[in-house]
Amino acid sequence: MDQDELKKQEAKCTQENPPSCTAGCPIHVDARKLMLDIQNQDLKSALATLKKKQPFPGIIGRICDHPCEDECIRQEAGTTIAISALERFCVQNVSEIKTKAGIIPPKSQTVAVVGSGLRGLTAAYDLAKKGYKVSLFEKEDHLGGNLWSFPEAQLPPEVIVEELSVLNRLNVQIHLNTAITRQDLAKLQEEFNVVYLGLAAHSKRISELLGEQSSIDTVTCATPLPGVFSGAFVGNNSPIKSVADGRKAAVSIDRYLQGVSLTASREGEGSYETQLFVNTKGIIPLPAVQMSDEPGGYTSEEAVQEAGRCLNCQCLECVKACKYMQEYGSYPKKYLRQIYNNDTIVMGMRHGNKMINSCSLCGQCAEVCPRGLDLGETCKATRESMVSKGKMPPSAHDFALRDMAFNNSEEFALSRHQPGHNSSKYVFFPGCQLSGSSPEQVEKVYAYLTDKLSGGVALMLRCCGAPADWAGQRDLFQNSLKVLIAEWESLGKPQLIVACSTCHSMFHETFPGVISLWELMADLDLPVQGAVKSGSKVAVQDACTTRNEPHIHDAVRYILTKLGCEIEELPYSKERTKCCGFGGLTSFANPELAKKIIEDRISESTTDYVAYCAMCRDNFASKGKRTVHLLDLIFGTDLDKAAIRPSVGFSYRHENRAKLKRTLLHSLWKEAPQEKDVAYLKVNLQLNERVLEIMEDRRILIEDIQQVIELAERTGRKFINPNNGHSLAYFRPVKVTYWVEYQPQEQSFVVLNVYSHRMEIVEEGHE
Amino acid sequence: MNNTSKQTQKTLWKCGKCGGELQRGSVKASYLGNDFVVEELKCLSCGLVLITEELALGKMFEVEQSLEDK
């Protein structure tokens, strides 16, 4: 991912855009944060939130005309949040409001501000805070202009005086009773670097002062007179827009005095429409909290309650849907940056590796994102980049890739025309996971297909290459695909029938005619009638790799209906479905997260699930969720038994696949299966459930254990515990050292413990 | 429970080849092109090095992970 791509992807994530209240506020007060402060009953923090944007919160908090409320998203479910009343509550109830001047490095340049209404006051405040020498000219004998026309109950005079006293602390030179005429303006221009006329645009006073030259730039507040700025907003009926007008001029004046562009990047100033997406579906409408004492404003309890209605507007659509997104406590815009940094780092630790390798690559985020941001695409491209740079952690995918190698080895791989046929119209590709989990169902499906279809149905056993694709091993994937294509061509390019959705997703570009078993079966007579008790309810787990295949979703539901099932749709289903934790090799790179993903998905409904992916079924069953495979329903197996059938471990998946090949060769093609003749396969093991669980967790296979024991017993290279007679030995076939603690018992070995490490110990032999 | 058995095992393992006691000695370890010398229990005469479960899944795993992220 290069910088441009990063920016393109980042721009799709709206989470960091401000809420609509803030965007709608001419000076961008963070009302969302303010609501949280009030809910936390932290008025000090609330005041700090106001002060961050408001020059005189005690005044503005009492008189603001609150355009934010018109933009509030709460309106879609109830009434707008009473932001203005809550601001008033804050400034009326906070113990101390006094704004400190702070330490400001002084600048030598001088600014004259004419008029002390909200425009002039704001400009004087902002510029003094930047260190300019500000002189404020007011024709009356007091500062504040129109502020004095508000009712005393709303804006008490002492508040005005107190709030404006900050200008003294900022060393603003205040000249009262000083009306400025057109003649005076010329003098001010001579005396000061800049003059700001804090008056409404097109007002009579402006015309008097500027004469015919009263046209004002609405973006910069600049007048045709050099160094003279003025109000660009017409009228005085919106206090907050007057404040924003004064602020806009202050920004221009600062730029003018620094000699930089007045016009560059000013798009974000003033009210605008935010890009933040907020989903209000399902939010319960709530009316505004009423004040028990209208003139006095909200009580503390009422304020907390009203602020509590705030939706705390966020997008987070993908985060709400995905455990992986939640796992790292942030959202895609942040993740994209972390991934980019991880990929481009030259020296130092790549802390993002695990995060990049933990995504299921399932595409759900792109589906739920209002702008289609697909974090999985970035994760996958980055994995490919890591592999190409030699920076992919070997432990992440090693086991899965060795499993793939097994599935493409002589142990499992097979291509044959249907017995008695020399050509094939179809080829059935059951995939390695169904073959590993339920080899008997592969046999049943193949028998069914050869019975129903004419023209010859070949069989091809091997891996589709998904593990390599997911691991970012592009070359490995391409090479595996090349072999597969060659096999397919040698069968005469028959139409592929796949039972696994992942295979389907890997094939649909290379083999345009590929059809899912479910689409095919929807059009054929089903093998068994009445296997399902009519009206049995099942919740459908759509495989994540069918996300963009609505015809498969439809076919599965059609078959279920035909079988007599009542279908329950999970909250996230079809194109919005959730991965079971296997996709993208999540369960290999981050088994803890995969567990959370499974737990989350199975908690969505108490109804029995039906899956049409062997991995979905096994993963859910492994956590105790009653889940049947669609084939269990189709072939009418004992459904109660099928629903609780435990997941098949890695070792037995290997064994099931190898056995399936041998069985089929023997029964269908009458070929004598070749038995592998290796010494270690003759080592008999006794494995209890505890050890089997450890093996599964630590990804250690029966074969690995057999090799350790065979070598140790043959060479005597092992450790012995004389107290209990246990042996402890190791073997390093390639990249992993396996350790086995065991005890010989008659003709077999009781396995007591297994563990492994990847680091190599270099032994110096002394034999 | 596990702890006690581990601790006793640590001291109780003997070399199965020569029956000798294990002693601490320097051992060369290597991962992803990084070499180090560590002190581990080994049979000084046969060269067999004992890596316990605790070490393999603890410290050694941590080092492997950080080297993978380097």
Q: How many CA atoms lie within 13 A of A728 on its CB side?
A: 22
Give residue A531's pLDDT band: very low, low, confident or very high (50, 70, 90): low
Q: What is the mean pLDDT of residues A752-760?
A: 97
Q: In which domain, by residue range, is A39 found?
A: 20-97+296-307
- Asked if B9's CB is within 8 angstroms of A717's CB, the reply is no
- Asked if B64's CB is within 8 angstroms of A728's CB, the reply is no
pLDDT value at residue A731: 95
Of the candidates A276, A307, A338, which is a domain's last residue? A307
A350: which chain B residues are within 8 Å (Cβ-Cβ)? 69-70
pLDDT value at residue A347: 85
Percent of chain A scoring above 90 in pLDDT? 90
Domain assignment of residue A347, yes or no: yes
- CA distance readout (Å), A62 to A83, A485, B33: 11, 75, 68
Q: Among B17, B22, B56, select the one facing A739 at the smallest CB separation.
A: B56
Determine which helix (DSSP H) or strand (DSSP E) holds A10, and give its type and residue range. helix A3-12
- In a shared domain, residues A434 and A479: yes
- In a shared domain, residues A119 and A86: no
Categorise residue A138: left if φ over 0, alpha if ψ from -120 to 50, beta otherwise. Answer: beta
Q: Which of A269, A326, A236, A370 is nearest to A53 (CA)?
A: A269
Q: Which of A488, A499, A482 is nearest to A433 (CA)?
A: A499
- CA distance readout (Å), A761 to A49, A560, A737, B20: 59, 56, 9, 20
CB pairs under 8 A between A and B: 104
- In a shared domain, residues A129 and A214: yes
- Asked if A717's CB is within 8 angstroms of B16's CB, the reply is yes
Q: Is the pLDDT of residue B5 over 70?
A: no
Give me the residues paired with residue A720 across strands.
A727, B14
pLDDT value at residue A419: 97
Q: What is the mean pLDDT of residues A411-430?
A: 97
pLDDT value at residue A101: 75
Of A337 and B12, more confident = A337
- In a shared domain, residues A411 and A376: no
- In a shared domain, residues A366 and A436: no
Determine which helix (DSSP H) or strand (DSSP E) holds A485, and give its type and residue range. helix A474-490
Domain assignment of residue A503, yes or no: yes
Domain assignment of residue A618, yes or no: yes
pLDDT value at residue A532: 75
pLDDT value at residue A40: 97
Q: How many domains does chain A have?
A: 6
What does the alpha-carbon distance between residue A185 and residue A754 come to, in Å, rounded to a whole number? 90
- In a shared domain, residues A254 and A127: yes
Buried b or exposed e, range A58-96, using 16+ CB within 10 angstroms: bbbbbbbebbbbebbbbeeebebbbbbbbbbbbbbebee
**Secondary structure (3-state) at A629:** strand
pLDDT value at residue B4: 41
CB A556 within 8 A of CB A633: no
B19: which chain A residues are within 8 Å (Cβ-Cβ)? 720
Q: What is the mean pLDDT of residues A718-727?
A: 94
Listed in sequence order, the residues at least 6 apart from A616 whose beta carbon sits closer than 8 Å to its beta carbon are A541, A543, A580, A582, A627
Task: Tell me the pairing of strands A194-197 and A228-230.
Answer: parallel
What does the alpha-carbon distance between residue A438 and residue A53 come to, in Å, rounded to a whole number? 65
pLDDT value at residue A530: 60
Minimal CA separation from B69 to chain A, in Å: 5
What does the alpha-carbon distance between residue A379 and residue A339 come to, in Å, rounded to a whole number? 8
Condensed to tens digits (0 to 9), the pLDDT of residues A641-690 reads: 899 998 999 999 999 999 999 999 999 999 987 777 789 999 999 999 99
Domain assignment of residue A291, yes or no: no
- In a shared domain, residues A382 and A406: no
Domain assignment of residue A15, yes or no: no
CB A359 within 8 A of CB A375: yes
- Asked if B47's CB is within 8 angstroms of A393's CB, the reply is no
What does the alpha-carbon distance between residue A485 and residue A510 come to, in Å, rounded to a whole number? 9
Assess B47–A contact: CB distance below 8 Å, yes or no: yes
- In a shared domain, residues A509 and A551: no
CB A126 within 8 A of CB A246: yes
Q: Which residue of A has its CA nearest to B50?
A: A719
- Asked if B16's CB is within 8 angstroms of A393's CB, the reply is no
Minimal CA separation from A737 to chain B, in Å: 10
Tallying the residues shown for chain A, one arrives at 767
Domain assignment of residue A270, yes or no: no
Assess B68–A contact: CB distance below 8 Å, yes or no: yes
Assess B20–A contact: CB distance below 8 Å, yes or no: no
pLDDT value at residue B55: 94
**Which CATH number is A249's domain given?**
3.50.50.60
- In a shared domain, residues A640 and A700: no
Task: Tell me the pairing of strands A495-498 and A515-516.
Answer: parallel
CB A633 within 8 A of CB A563: yes
pLDDT value at residue B3: 40
B48: which chain A residues are within 8 Å (Cβ-Cβ)? 717-719, 763
At CA A31, angle to CA A26 and CA A35, rounded to 5? 165
Whole-model pTM: value is 0.88
Kindly report the number of other CB atoms within 10 A of residue A637's CB atom: 20
Condensed to tens digits (0 to 9), the pLDDT of residues A52-85 reads: 999 999 999 999 999 999 999 999 999 999 999 9
- Asked if B22's CB is within 8 angstroms of A719's CB, the reply is yes
- Asked if A394's CB is within 8 angstroms of B12's CB, the reply is no
Q: Which residue of B has its CA nearest to A393?
A: B68
- Asked if A757's CB is within 8 angstroms of B61's CB, the reply is yes
Condensed to tens digits (0 to 9), the pLDDT of residues A553-584 reads: 999 999 999 999 999 999 999 999 999 999 99
Q: Is the pLDDT of residue B32 over 70?
A: yes
- In a shared domain, residues A67 and A123: no
Beta strands, E only, chain B: 14-15, 23-31, 34-42
- Asked if B15's CB is within 8 angstroms of A766's CB, the reply is no
What does the alpha-carbon distance between residue A629 and residue A549 come to, in Å, rounded to a whole number? 19
B32: which chain A residues are within 8 Å (Cβ-Cβ)? 394
Q: Which residue of A has its CA nearest to B68?
A: A393
Assess B56–A contact: CB distance below 8 Å, yes or no: yes
Categorise residue A492: left if φ over 0, alpha if ψ from -120 to 50, beta otherwise. Answer: left
Kindly indicate whether the domain formed by B2-68 is annotated with CATH number 3.40.1130. Answer: no
- In a shared domain, residues A456 and A573: no
- Asked if B14's CB is within 8 angstroms of A394's CB, the reply is no
**Mean pLDDT of the residues in chain A:** 95
A351: which chain B residues are within 8 Å (Cβ-Cβ)? 69
The tokens describing A730, both together, are: 């190791």
Minimal CA separation from B15 to chain A, in Å: 5
Domain assignment of residue A12, yes or no: no
Minimal CA separation from B5 to chain A, in Å: 11
Assess B66–A contact: CB distance below 8 Å, yes or no: yes
Of the candidates A391, A417, A450, which is a domain's last residue? A391
Give residue B2's pLDDT band: very low, low, confident or very high (50, 70, 90): very low
Q: What is the mean pLDDT of residues B63-70?
A: 94
Q: Is the pLDDT of residue A361 over 90?
A: yes
pLDDT value at residue A765: 56
- In a shared domain, residues A248 and A148: yes
